[in-house]
């Protein structure tokens, strides 16, 4: 399995919690799309012999593009890459970009999975985050997508927001379930350095939600989604009827992927590469042949650590036969205490997080990674 990720670095306005690379100035959009097309062509040899089973348009906000622009990108991918006929093709979109006409048009391009950035069904929360849609638009966007024929829809939600009560969060979950989507990604708010939320936290304008309340919200999330038939296949991701995100699952299984566009990352199991997070430098690099990316060769310990950090997050867990012999004793020594406390369980030969382990997953991963002396 292999995947192609294309980063669309434009947003109509910046959300206060987000630290992904993006720009609100769309003046470079036409030029940037042209060089993205060029990068796709130039890097085709890196995917020689691979079949792309997933394509993911992320951002930023890919739904700022017209259906014609999306069609052009996907045609370029198909021109230079071997794309599986049944490939999962996901597009991230904002609720207020979605209209019935637009949905029909992008469906014709081959998009067959939508990831809709709702974040909250509470208008006060949306305003706090500087989102550009309201709760009514969020609900209408999902329903319009369903009416247009999309039957693989994911929505994003955020919990742990400043001032968010347990009842507020329960209402978000209730509304999400009422929409009958196939997939829900729910993330605890992180105050990433450089964001407006981070600055407001440091200046005392915002207060972090107590850990205990965030844990309660996570617990309620898991409980309510399980009752509704959702499977928690990764710490923050829940799916019905095995409709996991194939693209993201590829990341967690260390599958090869190609990242196209500013700030996009690529991985071929031996090296990792990342493009510059700057539209102008990216454009200049491709147009004039200057270096627009960095890369690193992964050491055996890098590969082991990547495996631990990605796979332990999932329901598939860690198997010892996928760990290099040189790291087995380190792994066994450090996992033992968590087995004794019940934070780690062995299921069918795989080490997985227990319900209690989910709450301290970061600490467990920290102890399991290998730091060369």
Which of 217, 233, 251 lies at the terminal end of a domain, its last residue?
A: 251
CATH code, domain carrying 63: 3.20.20.70
Rounded to 5 degrees, what angle do the CA atoms 233, 60, 199 make? 90
Number of domains making up the chain: 2
252 within 8 A of 234, measured Cβ to Cβ: yes
| Residue 51 DSSP symbol | E
Q: For the whole prediction, is pTM greater than 0.75?
A: yes
The reply to whether 92 and 9 lie within a common domain is yes
Q: Which residues are paired to 145 by β-bridges?
A: none
Rounded to whole angstroms, how far apart are CA atoms 192 and 195? 6
pLDDT digits (tens, 9 = 90+) for 175-198: 999 999 999 999 999 999 999 999
pLDDT digits (tens, 9 = 90+) for 313-365: 999 999 999 998 899 999 999 999 999 999 999 998 999 999 999 989 999 99
243 within 8 A of 182, measured Cβ to Cβ: yes
320 within 8 A of 304, measured Cβ to Cβ: no
In a domain, 287, yes or no: no
Alpha helices in the chain (DSSP H): 29-42, 67-80, 100-108, 123-129, 135-148, 166-178, 196-203, 211-227, 246-252, 279-288, 300-311, 325-341, 355-358, 361-368
pLDDT digits (tens, 9 = 90+) for 285-303: 999 999 999 999 999 999 9
pLDDT digits (tens, 9 = 90+) for 1-53: 699 999 999 999 899 999 998 998 888 999 999 999 999 999 999 998 899 99
SS3 category, 315:
coil
The residue range of the domain holding 50 is 2-251
SS3 category, 222:
helix
pLDDT digits (tens, 9 = 90+) for 125-138: 999 999 999 999 99
Predicted local distance difference test score (pLDDT) of residue 236: 97
Q: How many CB atoms lie within 10 A of CB 349?
A: 9
Which of 236, 251, 266 lies at the terminal end of a domain, its last residue?
A: 251
Rounded to whole angstroms, how far apart are CA atoms 316 and 334? 19
The reply to whether 194 and 339 lie within a common domain is no
């Amino acid at each position: 399995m292999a995947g192609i990720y294309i980063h669309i670095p434009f947003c109509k306005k910046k959300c206060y919690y987000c630290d992904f690379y993006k720009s609100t100035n769309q003046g470079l959009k036409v030029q940037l799309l042209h060089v993205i097309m060029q990068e796709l062509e130039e890097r085709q040899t890196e995917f020689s012999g691979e079949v792309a089973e997933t394509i993911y348009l992320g951002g930023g906000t890919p739904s700022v593009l017209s259906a014609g622009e999306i069609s052009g990108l996907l045609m370029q991918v198909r021109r230079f890459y071997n794309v599986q006929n049944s490939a999962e093709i996901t597009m991230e979109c904002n609720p207020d970009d979605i209209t019935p006409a637009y949905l029909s048009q992008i469906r014709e391009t081959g998009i067959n999975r939508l990831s809709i950035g709702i974040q909250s069904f509470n208008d006060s929360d949306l305003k706090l985050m500087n989102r550009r849609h309201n709760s009514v638009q969020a609900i209408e966007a999902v329903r319009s997508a369903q009416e247009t024929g999309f039957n693989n829809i994911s929505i994003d939600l955020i919990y742990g927001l400043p001032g968010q009560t347990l009842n507020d969060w329960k209402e978000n979950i209730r509304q999400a379930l009422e929409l009958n989507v196939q997939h829900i990604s729910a993330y605890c708010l992180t105050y990433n350095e450089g964001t407006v939320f981070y600055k407001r936290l440091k200046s005392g304008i915002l207060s972090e939600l107590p850990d205990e309340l965030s844990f309660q919200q996570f617990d309620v999330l898991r409980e309510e989604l399980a009752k509704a038939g959702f499977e928690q296949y990764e710490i923050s991701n829940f799916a019905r009827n095995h409709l996991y995100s194939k693209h993201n699952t590829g990341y967690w299984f260390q599958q090869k992927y190609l990242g196209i566009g500013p700030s996009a990352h690529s991985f071929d199991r031996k090296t990792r590469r990342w493009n510059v997070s700057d539209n102008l430098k990216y454009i200049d690099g491709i147009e004039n042949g200057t270096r627009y990316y960095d890369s690193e060769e992964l050491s055996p310990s890098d590969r082991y650590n990547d495996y631990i950090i990605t796979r332990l997050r999932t329901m598939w867990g860690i198997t010892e036969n996928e760990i290099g012999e040189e790291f087995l004793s380190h792994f066994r020594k450090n996992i033992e205490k968590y087995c004794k406390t019940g934070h780690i369980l062995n299921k069918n030969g795989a080490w997985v997080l227990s319900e209690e382990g989910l709450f301290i997953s970061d600490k467990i991963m920290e102890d399991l990674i290998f730091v060369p002396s």
